[in-house]
Chains A and B, each alone.
Chain A
Amino acid sequence: MAATMVSSAGALLAMLNESHPQLKQHALYNLNKFVDQFWPEISTSVPLIESLYEDEEFDRHQRQLAALVVSKVFCYLGDLNDSLSYALGAGSLLMSLRILIMFILFLMCLNFDHLRSVVDIFKFAGASLVCLTFLFLFLTSAKAIDEYASLKAKATESNAEAANVDPRLEAIVERMLDKCIMDGKHQQAMGIAIECRRLDKLEEAITRSDNVHGTLSYCINVSHAFVSRREYRCEVLHLLVNVYQKLPYPDYLSICQCLMFLDEPEGVASILEKLLRSENKDDVLLAFQIAFDLVENEHQAFLLNVRDRLSVPKSQSSEMVQPKSSDPDPAQNNSSTASEDVQMTEGTSASIAIVQETDPNDAIYAERLTKIKGILSGETSIQLTLQFLYSHNKSDLLILKTIKQSVEMRNSVCHSATIYANAIMHAGTTVDTFLRENLDWLSRATNWAKFSATAGLGVIHRGHLQQGRSLMRPYLPQGGSGGGGSPYSEGGALYALGLIHANHGKGIKQFLRDSLRSTNVERFIYDSAVAGEAAGISMGLLMVGSASEKASEMLTYAHETQHEKIIRGLALGIALTVYGREEEADTLIEQMTRDQDPILRYGGMYALALAYRGTANNKAIRQLLHFAVSDVSDDVRRTAVLALGFVLYSEPEQTPRIVSLLSESYNPHVRYGAALAVGISCAGTGLSEAISLLEPLTSDVVDFVRQGALIAMAMVMVQMNEAGDSRVGTFRRQLEKIILDKHEDTMSKMGAILASGILDAGGRNVTIRLLSKTKHDKVTAVVGLAVFSQFWYWYPLIYFISLSFSPTAFIGLNYDLKVPKFEFLSNAKPSLFEYPKPTTVPTTTSAVKLPTAVLSTSAKAKARAKKEAEQKANAEKAAGAESSSAATNTGKEKSSSEKDADSMQVDSQPEKKAGPEPSFEILTNPARVVPAQEKFIKFMEDSRYAPVKFVPSGFVLLRDLQPTEPEVLSLTDAPSSTVSPAGDSATGQQGSASAMAVDEEPQPPQPFEYTS
């Protein structure tokens, strides 16, 4: 009997006008029933129903009914505020289940824009059907809670206590919270409590849950993802730390992460100390693990603080630590000859000598302390990373060769682009074969090209802390004499040193400062504006995130100066100072974005980007989008779009959606910005949407858009191979085509060359990562990428991208912080994550152009993957023979790389083309684990080592289950481990190449003469 359906609410609405109360009631009752069908009709009569609600003579129940109907209509009309106020009027009716569920359905029909955060929290809760029902129940009050939360937020902001909060609201919220807690829906309760700033309830929810640890870590995630006000987030984290500390078995790893966010080095230091003093070796391992995790976030100032606060073993303490912290000043003044490396070794030996005299307990502690200080200073991790990158280097020199051959000699842009690509490809690997084989070619670099060529060495040797200085010595300004090389190469060398020591500058800072002073005369040769720009940026770099008052000083100066470059440098510098300050930076940002000068507005965009980096803060996004479409300056618009990438990097899935419209803009600057925004925020994710968005842009009509798109694409696809996404192969072929095409624009050619470099960055063993495993931002990486995005104005800034590289390695460490050999499992097909095949595969068009010798070896290499490495070495030998200079060097280099190849086989050998592919792969301890692979990593059950805390990549401290047996260590063939100080000093002298050949360490390139 579905045939008869009422088609209009007209009759019911007419009945409302009847005088008899019973008729009105009947009408109301039925209206409430049909409101979801006829709300458009009813909406015209809302005033009538409202008057019923306000009619004092009406009985209470009916007035509530009227309120409910009105509330629902408003709900449909999207006026949630009115809806809420009437829903409150509906009182107890709303709580009756049936009506509740109907009310939910309304809410569900509406768009949830400002309820989103709450809904997201609920989504986390996971969804069994029962759970969903509950979720609906909670949702009904979601609006109420939202309102309550915003009132509370306002109250806290203006310090006026919650006096204005409607008590009815308060009641609803409390009821919901209590119900959640009672029903064991702790996650929901926590979500609501956080949203409503009810920290008391939050604590209750956490402590009453059955799995306190799980709940706490969930809560940390939530507070990072959804609490947008920094101040409040700190409050929440404080609470969490308190709760953590009350637990019988506190999770020190999480506590330390929280403390780091709160910037409380004392807490971390005391925890570390407690663990270090413990009898139990596991505790010490845990302390090491904590230290490594902290280092991963690259928050240098914090780490230094922690280090300084670690108490030292009693009597000798002062002697031991003092020289370390203070030595840069006195010792470094005689900068030209004193070598930091020597001092380091001296320092350590001295401390060891001292320790031997103390009692055993203290001795153990002191030994541990030295280790943990090593970790905290970043030296341990840098050294291990360096070793890993060196030994696992898989970069494909043939790509570079192809590029080099196809690039016109006279084209200096492409020439230096090739040098950049080389530097990026070998970043941190210390392999500079390519440079050494092509000295002639390299020497064509002039002026700034020379600068960047020299600076490129810095990228290649990144993290080579001990020998950085000696490597660069030939190029550094010679103290006093000043005669030596050209100012450009000297400038480049200083830049290189900066890159090598990035974020671990302790000793080198003073040296740089001195050299600057001594080379003052020469600096005049540079355009003084360039120096100004550099000074602006470096001031910013020094004060990252300090939000110091210097910023306003810089701003004033920027107003005074006429020089565009200086203003730009200062603007960026200011932006860097507000790094991560979120709301605190608002005034400064406001000031900058309202400035008349487009360059300062441009700086303002960066300030927004960096202050709200990775927060996905809605306000920042809105502001940036506004500037992206409304500013008059193309530069500002471009930067505004680009800045979106920084704000959104914690939620890479969002970016393609947000910038998709912008990527179709008529304005090429906006398109360029959109491409880079995607590149930045989706870097290293290989996100499919990002690739689809960038694909059309790589064939844009405007050359610089193509450039940006190619670079961005490379950033997204870093470390992917064709098995992961077939478009990677297409992209590689596209790059090759662009590079080989004679008629292609220089801009896009440069983009393509850089893209090839980024795709295979760091010997194919690094990815671009802006977030650490614990979802904190990596300061250096973000800043590096921000400065990198400036290469639009000055190409050498491209090198800053190397700061954002992080190795995709699993490095297990034992108690001695050595790398023991053991095996673990990757539960996925090996082909999914293997290294991309070398370029010599015949399908590539470039194969034709390559020398025949290379072709034949490569063919064999393809046929027999197992011998591939050796054959490639042969090919290189052949190639090496061609270049007349440095022939001996290359020959020797071969032997070491062959050794590497052998040790590498464990990783690469299982895939033989014949037969079905195994569904798992066995990796040996220092192993390449790409981000996508992380979820497949497992430890074997019968393994000798067990992790202190299981993480699938990065540094993992291992517990040795069979401590009596001797350990097999790997990573001993690393570049720096066998270096003696004597050999070190030898490198400094020119013409020492043959002597160096005996060493296993890679030599610096021969100092080359510029023939320009």
Chain B
Amino acid sequence: MDPQLTEVSQLFERFKAACVREDVDTGSNLLSKLKVMLTGFRSLPPLFEDTPNAIHELTLARDIYEHAVLLSVKIGDQDAFERDFFQLKPYYTDASGRLPPSSQEYMILGLNLLRLLVQNRIAEFHTELELLSPTALENPCIKHAVELEQSFMEGAYNRVLSAKQTVPYKTYDYFMDLLAKTVRDEIAGCSEKAYDYLSISDARQTLLFSSDDELLQYINEEHPEWEIKNGVVIFQKAKESAPCKEIPSLQLINQTLSYARELERIV
């Protein structure tokens, strides 16, 4: 076997061990080294050259990136997750014809969907979904994410929160917790629009807090523009500050008229 490859595999073993030990710093360092070493292989994306050890190298690289993704979940670094996931993706899509499918594939895809949901990037979520095969959609990991998204869109936030109990893998927990916060932000946004004010106890219930303190802390951190007076949360200020979008009717009329004129002029 090619010495470079051996070196990578050895390093990878150490990285895996560090992950198991939950030694995050060592893990990150090793990962960075691994990535640099991987750039030396010409069989990897984007070149995909057909070297003798191509299959082996591709598999190894895929393993490394899968571990990298999981590590990023563990340390709760969403940017790193995104980076690693994108680098992993060609192994699932472009190289799928040459490699045996990875056991972790659907779990990671599901994680990514969940991440998009958490970051409220719904458009990208659906883009990713469109790229998946029908069989993939049947997979419980993917299904889970899809159902979550549906509940989320419907506004059935209680179902979103209760879904935490049915996660397919323990790694999902991190995102599920984040999702609760996304849900809360969503509710807060809606309440702001829907009500002029809410009593503190109603607000606590609506925003799914267990105590008033938590609620007050949340308001302080996330929505300083809300006013608390006489046991009531007043949203008036936020409403005022929100730019009132008027329909630019005059501008539209002018535009349409000028189109008409131009049309008239066309030749």
The interface of chain A, by Cβ under 8 A from chain B, is: 1, 3-15, 17-20, 22-23, 26, 30, 33-34, 629-630, 661-662, 664-667, 670
Contact check, A5 vs B94: say whether CB atoms are below 8 A apart.
yes
Beta-carbon contact of A11 and B87 below 8 Å? yes
Q: Contact: B39 with A3, CB < 8 Å?
A: no
Q: Mark B25-50 against chain A: 1 for CB-CB distance below 8 A, else 0.
A: 00000001001100100000111111
Q: Are B46 and A10 in contact (CB under 8 A)?
A: no
A11 touches B267 (CB 8 A): no
CB distance from B83 to the nearest CB of A (A): 5
Which residue on chain B has the smallest CB distance to residue A19?
A: B32
Q: A421 CB to closest chain B CB, in angstroms?
A: 33
Q: Inside 8 A of A26's CB, which chain B residues have their CB?
A: 39
B265 touches A15 (CB 8 A): no
Contact B97 A4 (CB under 8 A): yes
A20 to B68, CA, bound (A): 15
Task: For A4, give its contact among B79, B89, B98, B265 (CB under 8 Å).
Answer: B98
Q: How far is the CB of B105 from chain A (nearest CB, A)?
A: 16
Q: Which residues of B contact A34 (CB under 8 A)?
A: 46
User: B36 and A23: CB pair below 8 A?
Assistant: yes
- The answer on a CB contact under 8 Å between B35 and A11 is no
Task: Assess the A17–B267 pair: CB atoms within 8 A.
Answer: no
Identify which of A7, A10, A20, A666 contacts B35 (C-beta below 8 A).
Answer: A20
* Chain A residues closer than 8 Å to B90, beta-carbon distance: 6-8, 11
Choice from A10, A23, A30, A670 contacting B267 with Cβ under 8 Å: A670
> Which partner residue on chain A sits nearest B82 by CB separation?
A14
Residue of B nearest to A628 (CB): B267
Q: 3 closest pairs, A vs B, by CB?
A: A14-B86, A6-B46, A1-B50
A5–B90 Cα distance when bound, in Å, is: 9
Q: What chain B residues lie within 8 Å of A630 (beta carbons)?
A: 265
Set of chain B residues within 8 Å of A33, measured between Cβ atoms: 46
Nearest A residue to B88 via CB reads A11
5 sample A-B contacts, Cβ–Cβ < 8 Å, listed by A number: A1-B49, A6-B46, A11-B46, A17-B83, A629-B266
B-chain residues with CB within 8 Å of residue A665 when the two chains form the complex: 267
Docked-complex contact B93 and A13, CB < 8 angstroms: no
User: Which residues of the other chain, B, contact A12 by a CB distance below 8 angstroms?
Assistant: 46
Looking at the assembled complex, report how far the CB atom of A160 sits from the nearest CB atom of chain B, in whole angstroms.
Answer: 39
Shortest CB-to-CB span from A234 to chain B, Å, is 38
| A439-B90 Cα distance, complex, nearest whole Å | 94
| Interchain CB contact under 8 A, B35 and A661 | no
The answer to whether A664 and B267 touch (CB under 8 A), given A6-B90, A14-B83, A17-B83, is: yes
Complex interface: chain B residues within 8 A of A22 (CB)? 36, 39
Residue of B nearest to A670 (CB): B267
What is the chain B residue whose CB lies nearest that of A12? B46
Chain A: minimal CB distance from B111 (Å): 16
CB contact under 8 A between A15 and B83, given known A20-B32, A30-B46: yes
**Interface contact A14-B267, CB-CB below 8 Å:** no
Please give, as numbers and ranges, the residues of chain A lying within 8 Å of B46 by CB-CB distance: 6, 9, 11-12, 30, 33-34
Residues of B within 8 A of A666 (CB): 267
Tell me the complex Cα distance, A3–B267, Å.
Answer: 51
**In whole angstroms, how far apart are the Cα atoms of A738 and B128 in the complex?**
69
Which residues of A have CB within 8 Å of B45?
A: 6, 11
Q: Which residue of B lies closest to A33 (CB)?
A: B46
User: Can you name the residue of chain B whose Cβ is closest to the Cβ of A674?
Assistant: B267
**Distance from A208 Cβ to chain B, minimum over Cβ atoms (Å):** 47
Find out whether the CB atom of A11 lies under 8 angstroms from the CB atom of B39: no
Interface bits B196-240 vs A (CB < 8 Å: 1, else 0): 000000000000000000000000000000000000000000000
B95 close to A20 (CB less than 8 A): no
**Residue from A629, A664, A667, A670 with most neighbouring chain B CB atoms (10 Å):** A629
Give the chain A neighbours of B95 by CB distance below 8 A.
4
A residues near B265, Cβ cutoff 8 Å: 629-630
Task: State how many angstroms separate the Cβ of A24 from the closest Cβ of chain B.
Answer: 10
**Considering the chains assembled together, what is the distance between the CA atoms of A321 and B47 in angstroms?**
87
A6–B86 alpha-carbon span in the complex (Å): 13
Contacts of B82 in A (CB 8 A): 14
Q: A6-B94, A20-B32 are in contact. Are A661 and B89 (CB under 8 A)?
A: no
Across the interface, A18 reaches (CB within 8 A) one of B49, B50, B83, B97, namely B83
CB pair B79 A17 closer than 8 Å: yes
Please state if B98 and A629 are interface contacts (CB–CB under 8 Å).
Answer: no
Known: A12-B46, A630-B265. Is A3-B97 also a contact (CB below 8 A)?
yes
- Nearest CB of B to A663, in Å: 9
On chain B, the residues within 8 Å of A629 by CB distance are 265-267
**Bound CA span A3–B48, Å:** 9
Q: Output the nearest chain B residue to A665 by Cβ-Cβ distance.
A: B267
Quick one: closest A residue to B96, CB to CB? Answer: A4
CA distance A664 to B47 in the complex (A): 53
A293, chain B: closest CB distance, angstroms: 42
User: Would you call B79 and A8 a contact (CB within 8 A)?
Assistant: no
Q: How far is the CA of A168 from the CA of B13 in the complex (A)?
A: 52
- Closest chain B CB from A19 CB (angstroms): 7
| Known pairs A6-B45, A7-B94, A18-B32 / 4 extra A-B pairs, C-beta < 8 Å | A11-B89, A12-B46, A18-B35, A22-B36
- Please judge, given known A-B contacts A11-B87, A15-B83, whether A6 and B39 are in contact too, CB under 8 Å: no
Contact with A along B69-111 (1 / 0, CB 8 A): 0000000000100111111011001110110000000000000
Chain B residues within an 8 Å CB radius of A661: 267
How close is A801's CB to chain B, nearest CB, in angstroms?
A: 28
- Give, as a whole number of angstroms, the nearest-CB distance from B123 to chain A: 14
In the assembled complex, the Cα of A664 lies from the Cα of B48 at a distance in Å of 54
Taking a contact as CB atoms under 8 Å apart, the answer to whether B32 and A14 are in contact is no
Q: Output the least CB separation between B233 and chain A (Å).
A: 39
Minimum CB–CB distance for B86 against chain A, Å: 4
Least distance between B72 CB and chain A CB atoms (Å): 12
Residue in chain B with minimal CB distance to A664? B267
Q: How far is the CB of B9 from chain A (nearest CB, A)?
A: 20
Query: Which chain B positions have C-beta within 8 A of A15?
Result: 83, 87
Name the A residues within 8 Å of B267 (CB-CB): 629, 661-662, 664-667, 670
Nearest Cβ distance between residue A980 and chain B, in whole angstroms? Answer: 62
A7 touches B93 (CB 8 A): yes
Residue of A nearest to B266 (CB): A629
- Distance, CA A30 to CA B98, complexed state (A): 22
A667 to B47, CA, bound (A): 59
A26–B39 CA distance with the chains assembled, in angstroms:
7
CA A667 to CA B82, docked complex, whole Å: 60
Instruction: Collect the chain A residues with CB atoms within 8 Å of residue B50's CB.
Output: 1
CB of B97 within 8 A of CB of A23, answer no
Interface string of B223-267 (1 = CB under 8 A from A): 000000000000000000000000000000000000000000111
Whole-angstrom CA separation of A944 from B82 in the bound complex? 90
Measured CB to CB, the nearest residue on chain B to A16 is B83
Give the residues in chain B near A664, CB-CB below 8 Å: 267
Which single residue of chain B is at the shortest CB-CB distance from A37?
A: B46
Cβ–Cβ < 8 Å partners of B32 in chain A: 18-20
Specify the chain B residue showing the minimal Cβ separation from A631: B265
Complex: how many Å from CA A3 to CA B49? Answer: 11
Complex Cα–Cα for A670 and B267 (A): 8
Contact A8 B89 (CB under 8 A): yes
Contacts of A20 in B (CB 8 A): 32, 35-36
**What is the bound-complex CA distance between A149 and B228, given in angstroms?**
67
Is A3 touching B98 in the complex (CB atoms < 8 A)? yes
| Chain B residues whose C-beta falls within 8 Å of the C-beta of A5 in the assembled complex | 48, 94
B216 to chain A, nearest CB (A): 37
Q: Are B48 and A10 in contact (CB under 8 A)?
A: no
A15 CA / B46 CA spacing, docked (Å): 12
Q: What's the nearest-Cβ distance from chain A to residue B173, in Å?
A: 25
CB-based nearest A residue for B49: A1
Complex Cα spacing A30 to B40, Å: 12
A333 CB, min distance to chain B CBs, angstroms: 57
**Residues of B close to A23: CB separation below 8 A:** 35-36, 39
Residue of A3, A4, A6 most packed against chain B (CB within 10 A): A4
| Nearest CB on A from B36, distance (A) | 5
Cα A351 to Cα B94 in complex, Å, equals 97
A447 to B261, CA, bound (A): 46
Instruction: Return B2 CB to nearest CB of chain A, in Å.
Output: 19
| B217 to A: closest C-beta gap in Å | 33
